[in-house]
Structure 1
């Protein structure tokens, strides 16, 4: 009986998060009201509060799920040389996730709770990327791996932001440059 109840609880949370994602994409975190979320989820506001204490708790669960998905993707794609192409052609796995994480960054400038969520999400991703690279490059020092992850994070997150503007260089040329940069980054341990 508990398994069935837990499954219903999880499904209701999923439904609320799906509705919240749509509302947040339409209105932003700050402007999306609990009434709007409830309407989108076809629930009452009171029903939503049974599953989440407030809007920040919904945002936190949404961010956790996005980061979980990204960490799983890193494991799957850690041995494929796709990153230069993704960066050059400004491709993303999930448009909504990218837009929502930009919204998280914007909301973090206004809301200390969301700012701490962003710091936690970044720490989880960074630590996960470090573990993955340490396995792939055991000859690198921890400092080298940390520097590589930081450079990759800047390239990926910068590209996510740059996707909002027209690309000003040829994707083919950028692909070559990204390949060179990443190759140099992982060639050898610094002295």
Structure 2
């Protein structure tokens, strides 16, 4: 990546971070481009240099999250098959902490709420989910040999995804108590034979 490309990427990230903060603070519709520009410390016109609309900003936020998930699944897939389940279980603590982060939870729920009103945003989220589910299920099926990989993937994604709602409803959530329980559930789901 050239210096100019790095600077452009940094400016895009600056806008995405500012927009994320504004969406959490004001909601999607309350976060006009003027507020995003002020938070990003740049002009509205400069933001339009990188993104054509707020929808495009949401798409880029989702894409950025998706790229991180793709990288994590690529790392897992590269491991020998007999190490994958243990590696995933060892990541449970990081996943619980990440999925129960109050800011990220509020942002994700704001984007999901907008998806209920906006078919374009809904399509972006559904495409992201399809991609991540596919990568996850593929690891469970091809690397761990689990024949009901789709159902196991859906259950694990539901369990971890539910933390976003729980932390906003229960800010005193005891993550340290949840981690060993998640690890136990993951051990069962990733190591037990599939039921016929």
Please, what TM-score do these two structures have when normalized by structure 2?
A: 0.78
Q: Are 1:161 and 2:165 matched, yes or no?
A: yes
CA deviation profile, 1:23-48 (whole Å, cap 9, x unmatched)? 11211222100111111122221221
Alignment correspondent of 2:131? 124
- Counterpart Cα distance in 2 of 1:8 and 1:189: 49
- Counterpart Cα distance in 1 of 2:14 and 2:176: 41
Is 2:24–2:106's contact at 8 Å kept on the other side of the alignment? yes
- Candidates 139, 143, 148, aligned match of 1:136: 143
Deviation at 1:140, TM superposition (A): 2.3
- Candidates 95, 104, 108, aligned match of 1:101: 108
CA deviation profile, 1:90-123 (whole Å, cap 9, x unmatched)? 5326823333212111111122221111111111
Q: How has the CA–CA distance of structure 1 residues 7 and 181 changed in structure 2, closer, same or farther, with 3 Å as cutoff?
A: closer
Q: Any unmatched runs of 5+ in structure 2?
A: 77-83
Alignment correspondent of 1:92? 98
Is 2:99–2:164's contact at 8 Å kept on the other side of the alignment? no
- Candidates 150, 164, 188, aligned match of 2:193: 188
Moved over 6 A (4+): 167-173
Alignment correspondent of 1:26? 25
- How many residues end up aligned between the 2 structures? 185
Tell me the secondary structure at the aligned position of residue 151 of structure 1.
helix
Q: Are 1:114 and 2:127 matched, yes or no?
A: no
Deviation at 1:54, TM superposition (A): 0.5
Is 2:100–2:167's contact at 8 Å kept on the other side of the alignment? no
Q: How has the CA–CA distance of structure 1 residues 12 and 85 changed in structure 2, closer, same or farther, with 3 Å as cutoff?
A: closer
Alignment correspondent of 1:146? 150
Q: How has the CA–CA distance of structure 1 residues 188 and 114 changed in structure 2, closer, same or farther, with 3 Å as cutoff?
A: same
Deviation at 1:182, TM superposition (A): 3.1
Q: Any unmatched runs of 5+ in structure 1?
A: none
Q: How has the CA–CA distance of structure 1 residues 73 and 97 changed in structure 2, closer, same or farther, with 3 Å as cutoff?
A: farther
Please, what TM-score do these two structures have when normalized by structure 1?
A: 0.80
